[in-house]
Amino acid sequence: MGEFAKWFNTDARVAWDPIIRAIVAHFYVVSIHPFGDGNGRTSRGVESFLLYLAGVNARSFYSLANYYYQHRHEYVRFLDHVRFETNGDLAPFVLFALKGLVSELQQVHAEVLTNVKRIAFRDYAREELASHDKLGSSVGERMSNLLVYLSDGEVVSLKAIRSGKHTLSGLYHKLTTKTLSRDINFLRQHELVIVEGDKLRANLDVMTRYTPPLESM
């Protein structure tokens, strides 16, 4: 292990791309197997630490360890392939790990977009309500609260709301079912909700017109 540390910290190796360097360190630590137990965790920890030092994933928004766990059979296969079949060429394992990095980044990107879409939808909905003089009134606040709830991706049964047992039923306490229908019709007319049969959901897709596709970013 000491010999590896000396080799790994030579100028030539330090000059490597930090992501490649972290993956290579992972491979050698798990292959050298310096401890009786916990070598896998140690190698993944070394990899994460080197990425952190390089300013990659400094906020720990994603984890290559998760990718390795989710693709454990491939992980072991590439480790063994490089150890015994490539004559020291680490490229197959490095490419596998880079694929994992891309996958993790895409997942984070999708999660961020989902949350940004929800927040943006709430702002957009309030602007729409304000443009029709709904905000500041009990009607507008009721609609806004309904949309905030739905913006979390909930799909709600209109029957459940009318039953008085759903969380949203409180918005229509002592109001008639006609009031609920008027609210829904207004929101649907302005593309803020979608009604499919008895199911009601926020029209979050209206925000995609303001979101560039992944490949353009």
**pLDDT digits 0-9 by tens, 5-21:** 887 888 888 889 999 99
Which residues make beta-bridge pairs with 21?
none
Q: Is residue 70 part of a domain?
A: yes
Is 217's pLDDT higher than 60? no
Q: Is residue 217 part of a domain?
A: no
Is 7 found in the same domain as 40? yes
Is 29 found in the same domain as 8? yes
- Across residues 58-68, what is the average pLDDT? 83
Q: Are 44 and 26 in contact (CB under 8 A)?
A: yes
Domain boundary residue among 111, 126, 153? 111
Greater model confidence, 187 or 62: 187
Is 181 found in the same domain as 132? yes
**CA–CA–CA angle 32, 33, 38 (5° rounding):** 150
Strands in the chain per DSSP E: 155-157, 193-196, 199-202
User: Can you tell me the distance from the alpha carbon of 62 to that of 72, in angstroms, rounded to the nearest whole number?
Assistant: 17
Is 203 found in the same domain as 185? yes
Is 91 found in the same domain as 10? yes
Q: Which residue carries 């949309």 as its tokens?
A: 147
**pLDDT value at position 212?**
61
**pLDDT value at position 210?**
66
Is 123 found in the same domain as 35? no
Q: Is residue 216 part of a domain?
A: no
Range of the domain at 181: 117-210
Q: Is residue 83 part of a domain?
A: yes
Is 122 found in the same domain as 104? no
Residue 213 banded pLDDT, cuts 50, 70, 90: low
Q: Is residue 215 part of a domain?
A: no
Is 167 found in the same domain as 100? no
| CATH number of residue 139's parent domain | 1.10.10
Enumerate residues 6+ apart whose C-beta is below 8 A from 100: 64, 67, 68, 71
pTM comes to 0.72
Greater model confidence, 196 or 55: 196
Is 133 found in the same domain as 107? no
> How far, in whole angstroms, is CA 11 from its chain's centroid?
37
- Distance (Å) of CA 186 to CA 14, 132, 139: 62, 10, 11
Is 214's pLDDT higher than 60? no
Is 82 found in the same domain as 44? yes
Is 124 found in the same domain as 106? no
User: Can you tell me the distance from the alpha carbon of 35 to that of 41, in angstroms, rounded to the nearest whole number?
Assistant: 11
Q: Are 111 and 105 in contact (CB under 8 A)?
A: no
Count of domains forming the chain: 2
Closest CA to 51 of 8, 19, 11, 99: 19
Closest CA to 137 of 186, 206, 190: 186
User: Can you tell me the distance from the alpha carbon of 187 to that of 140, in angstroms, rounded to the nearest whole number?
Assistant: 11
